[in-house]
Structure 1
Amino acid sequence: MNKTAEILRNSVPEIMNTWKREVINEVPAAQEAGTMALFDHLPNIITDIADLLDRHSNLSDIKEDENYKEIIVNSKHHGRHRASSESYTVEQVVQEYIIFHRTLSEFINERDAYDQQISDLVKYVIETSILESVGTFSKSIQEMQEKLIGTLAHDIRNPLAAARLSLQMIQEDKDGSWTERALNAATRSVNHALDLIEGLMNGITVKAGEGLLLSFEETDLKHNIDLVFNESKDLYTHDLVLKCEAKAIHGVFDSTAVRRMIDNLIGNAIKYGDSNQEVTLTIQDDDDSVQISVHNHGNPIPEDQQEKIFDFMNTSIEDQDTPAKSWGMGLTLVQIVADAHGGDIKLTSSVDHGTTFEVTLLKHVNKPGKRRAKLIYDAHEIVDEHIQ
């Protein structure tokens, strides 16, 4: 089978380009993907199949082969990637592999390098890939739902806690001097909680590549920043400071999502910061964008964890009791909101300067209305050297 292996090994670009044409024609979701994202780890599977053909003449002894194990890993990665790519379904993931199998078989057969043993091995590998990829795809969709719903459920606690605190103040207000202010605060917090509950229900219907359902409208973001800041001051005992020269910040935003984003950043800054030093919320209003940064003193986020906490689909820290895991739940939301507003998020963290998360939001990148935010997927490492 060395002839077939050599043909595959030397023809990865040609095979993948043939597969690409067929997939774009037959799989709707593939039409929106760039070449890099579309190929994912499939080129690696071709070279792994070639290595298997070099070493094995039957199926009974390939399961312990390292290349076969690598195929399983790549197939799982492919399923996880497709779960983060917009509009994919289980059926379309399976269809991609069916086309992949057909492309490989026809390519080998046209070069008179196909026999029953090769057919059996390729079929076995592709069927295994389908099972692993589809299983991971489904698991990843469930994981997305759990994370998005989990962040929503967590965020509901703060406005409800603030509302309860306001009601307690009313009960203890003997002369009525605090009643009106506390009642207004309780009303705002309950309304905020109701908005979050609506988001919780929308999170149940997440599909591949989808994040939260966001509602964009023309609004004064400064008003919402003041609301979440004052609510945080009522809720926490830490020293909170707001630095903002702007009297109003007009643009098209999802106010509820931005409030949740700031609330998460403040909550994490308080949780992991030095309780004896202030947490600072700084707002910089520019012509087309607004920068929102939250800074705290205290132990920094370790450098080797700083990139991981931005990866929505990262599972390497799931079972670790580390700051990155706890920060990551809130940053799932923060990154989705930043991206949905055409912006980004930056992190600086050191012993000398503390930790700062800076989020940039564009004011007019969206039109008023509702739409699903896209999930963030870091695909920079998926390009195979054969395709460059």
Structure 2
Amino acid sequence: MKNTQNQKTGKFSATAQRMLDLREAIFSEWEKRVRANIEHARDLPHPLLINTFPAYFSRLVEAVSPGFPRKIATDTNTIAIEHGGERARLTNYDPRAVIAEFQHLRWAILDVLQKHGVHFSADEFYIFNASIDAAICESATAYMLTQSAFREQFVAALTHDLRNPLHSIITAAELILRTDDPEKIRELAGKVIENGHRIDRMTKDMLDCALFQNGERLTLNLSCFDILELAREVCEQAAINSQSRIELNGEAAEGWWDRDAIKRAIENLIGNAVKYGAHDEPVKVHISPQHERVTISVHNKGDPVDPEQMESIFQVFRRTEAAKSGNRQGWGIGLPYVRSVAESHGGSVVVDSCVARGTTFIIDLPVDARPYQGTPTLNSLTK
């Protein structure tokens, strides 16, 4: 910033120049406060966390300089708007987090400047606050508009995907009315039941994810069972349904979990691996108990998850660019549901993906989930 043309032409005021000199100290203080006070910011990589703030800061410096033709920092640019959209697309932020990080920027700037004996004039202080307030408004609005767009896409995808099993049910029912063949009736009735169960699973996933996104833990029906046997059951059924090669290995792992929820989570991960994996490579499922925990890993070869997408694939309404641009159907609820199941059991889910290793999703659970039913979920911490 020190070599910009603006500085060469001497347009920056003395206060603005001191802001530039203290820029790194300001951002260091801001990052410390944001990571300490905004839950979803704590584990964000620095480049993703800092986002458009350096560009915004440069405009803020210009705005407080009387000789520079900029009324406030957001004047004649879309930096704050882009920031809000990126927070919606790439993070787990909610609107309050978007607002809070600008509030932390306000106080980080004021505190660092005061510490170094720098004080705004009345006019500078007015412009400074007007700039921060405008950025808050524009970023929060952009965030909510982006979220609204995600929801519209979600509803459109949901409507499309629900129509397929509904159409199958209606077609089978109409054919039943036209035949007296018992075998044909039995076959068609099976299709009605199969597609009815499919709609029921989709609806359950959607309702559970909506509950989890509101900060509420899933209601679990805990029982003691062997998760390896459950995984074997899911793998066998998935191999039949998808006509894919699915390999299961690992050790027996008996513990206390919700059988139906874990089953649906494994089904989602295998379905995801079949959908996005290389068709000539097997999907590999592995069960590993250790240190009073158990991991369920599902691995596939094929195109890796884009690193920029890893922050958002566990969020409701999100689908990766590969899913949007390809012919694969889906409505962005499977992986968020997996996360809700894992965290409601006191565990977690992670993804490891690159060209060389392929893609692996790992559910990590305590062997006994009973003691963790009162602990908060990640989403509840920000409510």
- With normalisation by structure 1, the TM-score equals 0.61
Separation (CA, whole Å) in 2 of partners of 1:150 and 1:211: 26
> CA deviation digits over 1:222-249, x for unaligned, max 9?
343244334324433x243443364x53
Asked if 1:84 is matched to 2:92, the reply is yes
Asked if 1:30 is matched to 2:59, the reply is no
Q: 2:125 aligns with which of 109, 112, 119?
A: 119
Which range moves more in the overlay, 261-270 or 96-105? Answer: 96-105
Question: Which residue number in structure 1 is paired with residue 268 of structure 2?
Answer: 264
Once the two structures are TM-superposed, the CA of residue 268 in structure 1 deviates from its matched residue by 4.1
Give yes or no for contact 1:252–1:366 (8 Å, CA) kept in 2: yes
Asked if 1:249 is matched to 2:256, the reply is no
Q: Give the residue type in structure 2 aligned to 1:264.
A: N
Give yes or no for contact 1:317–1:324 (8 Å, CA) kept in 2: no
Q: Give the residue type in structure 1 aligned to 2:321.
A: I
| RMSD (CA atoms) | 5.6
Question: Which residue number in structure 2 is paired with residue 282 of structure 1?
Answer: 285
Q: 1:128 aligns with which of 127, 134, 140?
A: 134
Q: Percent of counterpart pairs with the same letter?
A: 15
Question: Which residue number in structure 1 is paired with residue 307 of structure 2?
Answer: 307
Separation (CA, whole Å) in 2 of partners of 1:35 and 1:285: 29
Separation (CA, whole Å) in 1 of partners of 2:373 and 2:284: 28
Separation (CA, whole Å) in 2 of partners of 1:5 and 1:256: 60
SS at match of 2:220: strand
Give yes or no for contact 1:291–1:361 (8 Å, CA) kept in 2: yes
Q: Give the residue type in structure 1 aligned to 2:127.
A: L
Question: Which residue number in structure 2 is paired with residue 11 of structure 1?
Answer: 22
Separation (CA, whole Å) in 2 of partners of 1:372 and 1:161: 41
Asked if 1:317 is matched to 2:321, the reply is yes
Question: Which residue number in structure 2 is paired with residue 380 of structure 1?
Answer: none
Distance change (3 Å), C-alpha of 1:55 and 1:232? farther
Once the two structures are TM-superposed, the CA of residue 73 in structure 1 deviates from its matched residue by 3.5
Once the two structures are TM-superposed, the CA of residue 3 in structure 1 deviates from its matched residue by 1.1
Distance change (3 Å), C-alpha of 1:316 and 1:262? closer
Give yes or no for contact 2:273–2:300 (8 Å, CA) kept in 1: yes
> CA deviation digits over 1:196-228, x for unaligned, max 9?
5344234345657x5984637344223432443
Q: Give the residue type in structure 2 aligned to 1:224.
A: L
> CA deviation digits over 1:303-325, x for unaligned, max 9?
6x542443316898389614899
Give yes or no for contact 1:79–1:134 (8 Å, CA) kept in 2: no
Give yes or no for contact 1:219–1:250 (8 Å, CA) kept in 2: yes
Give yes or no for contact 1:77–1:133 (8 Å, CA) kept in 2: no
Separation (CA, whole Å) in 2 of partners of 1:231 and 1:4: 68
Q: Give the residue type in structure 2 aligned to 1:290.
A: T
Asked if 1:240 is matched to 2:245, the reply is yes
Give yes or no for contact 2:169–2:195 (8 Å, CA) kept in 1: yes
Give yes or no for contact 2:249–2:287 (8 Å, CA) kept in 1: yes
Give yes or no for contact 1:338–1:361 (8 Å, CA) kept in 2: yes
SS at match of 2:351: strand
Q: Give the residue type in structure 2 aligned to 1:132.
A: E
Q: 1:231 aligns with which of 211, 228, 237?
A: 237
Distance change (3 Å), C-alpha of 1:361 and 1:239? same
Give yes or no for contact 2:34–2:101 (8 Å, CA) kept in 1: yes
SS at match of 1:311: coil
Higher relative contact order (CA 8 A, sep 6+): 1
Q: Give the residue type in structure 2 aligned to 1:84.
A: N
- With normalisation by structure 2, the TM-score equals 0.61
Give yes or no for contact 2:205–2:334 (8 Å, CA) kept in 1: no
Separation (CA, whole Å) in 2 of partners of 1:94 and 1:4: 25
Asked if 1:292 is matched to 2:300, the reply is no
Q: Give the residue type in structure 2 aligned to 1:307.
A: P
Structure 1: 5+ residue stretches without partners: 376-388
Count of aligned residue pairs for this structure pair? 348
Q: Give the residue type in structure 2 aligned to 1:30.
A: N
Distance change (3 Å), C-alpha of 1:293 and 1:217? same
* Match runs of 1:1-388 below 5 Å: 1-12=12-23, 15=26, 30=37, 40-41=49-50, 44=54, 45-53=56-64, 56-59=67-70, 69-74=78-83, 76-77=85-86, 84-85=92-93, 90=96, 93-94=98-99, 97-98=102-103, 100-101=105-106, 104=109, 111=117, 113-139=119-145, 142=148, 174=183, 194=200, 196-204=202-210, 207=213, 213=218, 215=220, 217-220=222-225, 221-236=227-242, 238-244=243-249, 246=251, 248-272=252-276, 277=280, 279-287=282-290, 288-295=293-300, 300-301=302-303, 305-312=305-312, 317=321, 321-322=325-326, 330-334=334-338, 341-347=347-353, 349=355, 355-364=358-367, 366-367=369-370, 369=373, 374=378
